[in-house]
């Protein structure tokens, strides 16, 4: 899978662990040889940019809506997509991505209502679910296992 | 920012779930058509949504879902020359393909999983 194009799709940054997990995942996957792009809303991207002002962890940061348009218009696509979601809108965006992209989908579902939200996902994906809001460790550990599976 | 936000629109439903937005459109449109995620309307907006995505016509107004990551889903309508073009386009293409007029097509919303999440999210 080395060289595979990976999209990290960030939604509303209201839940704190999204930013830290996006930074962690981007850095980890980049070091494993993946071509990682992080897409976010304006607010999510600003949080990421301030946290990683020299672009050490995130090499490519793009606008989420523009990325969706580029995929629909077949100007780009990805092999793997990690979609962050903690609300219905995040799930709606991820469902759209699963419809328009060829990428294998991984849904990172977090926040207090994570379990119930995960049950509403109808598209084919691997679900990484944790009810955490502030502590990213549990979801980080789950993602470590997922990454081990991906690089097997 | 898409052109939608610069147009004169009416908000029918706001900060809701996508499922509720779909049901509102199905119940409150004279004609209902179903489109795929990414269906392009008003030159530069690509609909974000969970299939089946309902869009509707009520008179000359075009009714559609609009989802924002931090604010949830909205139901908007636009009533102008462009909305008439959008409705005509749906009548010409979708009407022929799927017989998707409201009276002919049973609601597909039953396929959507209903859970307690919607209620949790609204709290």
Q: Going residue by residue through chain A (152 aa), what tens digit of pLDDT does each one get?
A: 678 999 999 999 999 999 999 999 999 999 999 999 999 999 999 999 999 999 999 999 999 999 999 999 999 999 999 999 999 999 999 999 999 999 999 999 999 999 999 999 999 999 999 999 999 999 999 999 999 999 98
Chain A residue numbers with beta carbons less than 8 Å from the beta carbon of B51 are: 95, 99
Chain A residue numbers with beta carbons less than 8 Å from the beta carbon of B42 are: none
Residues B78 and B66: their CA atoms lie apart, in Å, by 12
In this predicted complex, what is the ipTM?
0.92
Give start and end residues of each alpha helix (H) in B1-123: 18-28, 81-98, 117-122
**Residues A95, B116: C-beta atoms closer than 8 Å:** no
CB atoms within 10 A of CB B95: 16
For residue B30, tell me if it sits in a domain: yes
Measure B26 CA to nearest chain A CA, in Å.
18
Task: Supply the range of the domain harboring residue B23.
Answer: 3-112
Q: What is the pLDDT of residue B74?
A: 98
Q: Is A89 on the interface with B (CB under 8 A)?
A: yes
Q: Per-domain residue ranges for chain A?
A: 5-127
Degrees, nearest 5: CA angle B28-B31-B35: 100
Of 3.40.50.720, 3.50.50.60, 3.40.50.10160, 3.90.45.10, the CATH number of A5-127 is: 3.40.50.10160
For residue B105, tell me if it sits in a domain: yes
What are A32-52's pLDDT values in tens digits? 999 999 999 999 999 999 999
Number of domains, chain B:
1
Parallel, antiparallel or unpaired: strands B40-41 and B45-46: antiparallel
């Amino acid at each position: 899978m080395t060289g595979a194009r990976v999209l990290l799709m960030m939604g509303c940054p209201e839940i704190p662990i999204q930013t830290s997990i996006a930074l962690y995942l981007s850095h980890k996957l980049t070091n494993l040889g993946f071509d990682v792009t992080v897409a976010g809303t304006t607010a999510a991207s600003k949080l990421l940019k301030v946290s990683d002002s020299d672009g050490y962890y995130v090499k490519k940061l793009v606008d989420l809506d523009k990325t969706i348009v580029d995929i629909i218009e077949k100007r780009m696509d990805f092999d793997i997509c990690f979609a962050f979601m903690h609300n219905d809108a995040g799930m709606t965006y991820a469902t759209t991505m699963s419809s328009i992209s060829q990428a294998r989908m991984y849904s990172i579902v977090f926040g207090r209502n994570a379990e119930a939200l995960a049950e509403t996902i109808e598209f084919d994906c691997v679900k990484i679910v944790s009810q955490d809001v502030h502590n990213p460790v549990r979801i980080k550990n789950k993602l470590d296992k997922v990454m081990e599976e991906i690089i097997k | 920012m898409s052109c939608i936000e610069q147009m004169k629109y009416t908000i029918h439903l706001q900060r809701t779930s996508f499922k509720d937005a779909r049901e509102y459109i199905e119940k409150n449109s004279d004609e209902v058509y179903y489109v795929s995620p990414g269906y392009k309307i008003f030159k530069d907006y690509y609909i974000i949504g969970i299939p089946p995505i309902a869009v509707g016509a009520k008179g000359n107004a075009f009714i559609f879902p609009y989802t924002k990551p931090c604010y949830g889903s909205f139901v908007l309508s636009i009533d102008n020359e462009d909305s008439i073009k959008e409705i005509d386009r749906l009548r010409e293409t979708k009407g022929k393909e799927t017989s998707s007029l409201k009276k002919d097509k049973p609601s597909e919303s039953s396929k959507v999983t209903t859970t307690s999440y919607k209620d949790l999210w609204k709290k």
